[in-house]
Amino acid sequence: MQNIANRGLLRLLKFFCALFLLGNFFLFPGCKDHENKKEAAADHLVDPEINAAFADTETQATTPEEFNANSFDFPVGKPDAKGYYNAQAFGKNNHLGDDWNAVTGGNSDLGHPIYAIANGKVAVADDLEGGWGKVVRIVHTLPDGEEIESIYAHCDSIMVLEGDRVRKGFQIGTIGTAGGQYLAHLHLEIRDSIHMPIGGGYSEVQEGYLDPSLFIKNNRSIH
Ligand SMILES: [Zn+2]
């Protein structure tokens, strides 16, 4: 009796599984992951206008001009890094970025907002673990068409998803410790060679890397 009942239950379960899979196939033919991601991205964005503005331009080959990066701000204490200082500047100890800390010291900046330094598109929003922790990489198209990349590392939390378009000053995450490895700070890199491997954060070879603070200072407004 027990066996027969189980078999019947199993058959019923199989039937519903098949129905579920078939339903999914017809609802999202061939792009279920993409649909899921879009939905998640929509939920994730604080400013729904951003996704709305790009809903119908997403498939175009070129970046919409209004999302070009025509000005840059600092990633903390926006727009001028008020209340923060650069604890390890680009080039010091072969550092390939800047380390932003609150002037209040220690872990007082843990959980503080990190902002996109310019309009752009999120290329990576992922926990890379190791010495990097949670990392956001944003590609910016300059008015002359050149593309550069900004990288925000050791985040406590990430508030964007890959493919999201962000405006300058949009909060993309919070300052963290890379899982307790460091005192909370933001490691910021700017690269003029985009999509390179994440690297090691330090190197004598600076090819492909820009001095982030110098670049931001020189590009507060691009004409
Ligand atoms: Zn650093």
Rounded mean pLDDT of the chain? 81
Quick check: is 20 in a domain? yes
Quick check: is 210 in a domain? yes
Q: In this structure, are 19 and 79 located in the same domain? A: no
Q: How many domains does the chain have?
A: 2
- CATH code, domain with 206: 2.70.70.10
Q: In this structure, are 129 and 41 located in the same domain? A: no
Q: Rounded to the nearest whole angstrom, what is the distance from the C-alpha of residue 50 to the centroid of ligand 1?
A: 30
How confident is the model over 44-96, as pLDDT tens digits? 444 444 444 444 444 333 456 778 999 999 999 999 999 999 999 999 999 99
Query: How high is the pLDDT of residue 64?
Result: 65
Quick check: is 223 in a domain? no
Q: Rounded to the nearest whole angstrom, what is the distance from the C-alpha of residue 192 to the centroid of ligand 1?
A: 18
Q: Rounded to the nearest whole angstrom, what is the distance from the C-alpha of residue 120 to the centroid of ligand 1?
A: 22
Quick check: is 35 in a domain? yes
Main-chain dihedrals φ then ψ at residue 27, nearest 5 degrees: -75, -45
Main-chain dihedrals φ then ψ at residue 42, nearest 5 degrees: -65, -40
Q: Which two tokens stand for residue 84?
A: 């923060």
**What is the residue-wise DSSP string for the chain?**
-HHHHHHHHHHHHHHHHHHHHHHHHHHSTT-HHHHHHHHHHHHH-S-HHHHHHHTTTTTSSSPPGGGS------SSIIIIITTEEEEE-TTGGGBSSEEEEETT-TTTTTT-EEE-SSSEEEEEEEE--TTT-EEEEEEEE-TTS-EEEEEEEEESEE---TT-EE-TT-EEEE-B-TTTTSSSBEEEEEESSTT-----SB-S--TTEE-HHHHHHHTSS--
Residue 19 has pLDDT above 50, yes or no: no
Q: In this structure, are 44 and 137 located in the same domain? A: no
Q: Rounded to the nearest whole angstrom, what is the distance from the C-alpha of residue 18 to the centroid of ligand 1?
A: 51
Q: In this structure, are 102 and 178 located in the same domain? A: yes
Query: How high is the pLDDT of residue 42?
Result: 36
Query: How high is the pLDDT of residue 222?
Result: 86
Q: What is the mean pLDDT of residues 193-219?
A: 97
Query: How high is the pLDDT of residue 223?
Result: 74
Query: How high is the pLDDT of residue 14?
Result: 56
Q: Rounded to the nearest whole angstrom, what is the distance from the C-alpha of residue 188 to the centroid of ligand 1?
A: 7
Main-chain dihedrals φ then ψ at residue 118, nearest 5 degrees: -165, 170
Query: How high is the pLDDT of residue 150?
Result: 98
How confident is the model over 115-160, as pLDDT tens digits? 999 999 999 999 999 999 999 999 999 999 999 999 999 999 999 9
Query: How high is the pLDDT of residue 44?
Result: 40
Q: Which two tokens stand for residue 110?
A: 């843990």
Quick check: is 175 in a domain? yes
Q: What is the mean pLDDT of residues 17-32?
A: 37
Q: In this structure, are 96 and 51 located in the same domain? A: no
Domain that holds residue 89: 66-218
Q: What is the mean pLDDT of residues 29-58?
A: 39
Residue 23 has pLDDT above 90, yes or no: no
Half-sphere exposure of 195 (CA within 13 A, CB side): 3
Residue 183 has pLDDT above 90, yes or no: yes
Q: Name the domain boundary from 22, 42, 62.
A: 62
Confidence of residue 11 (pLDDT cuts 50, 70, 90): low
Confidence of residue 24 (pLDDT cuts 50, 70, 90): very low
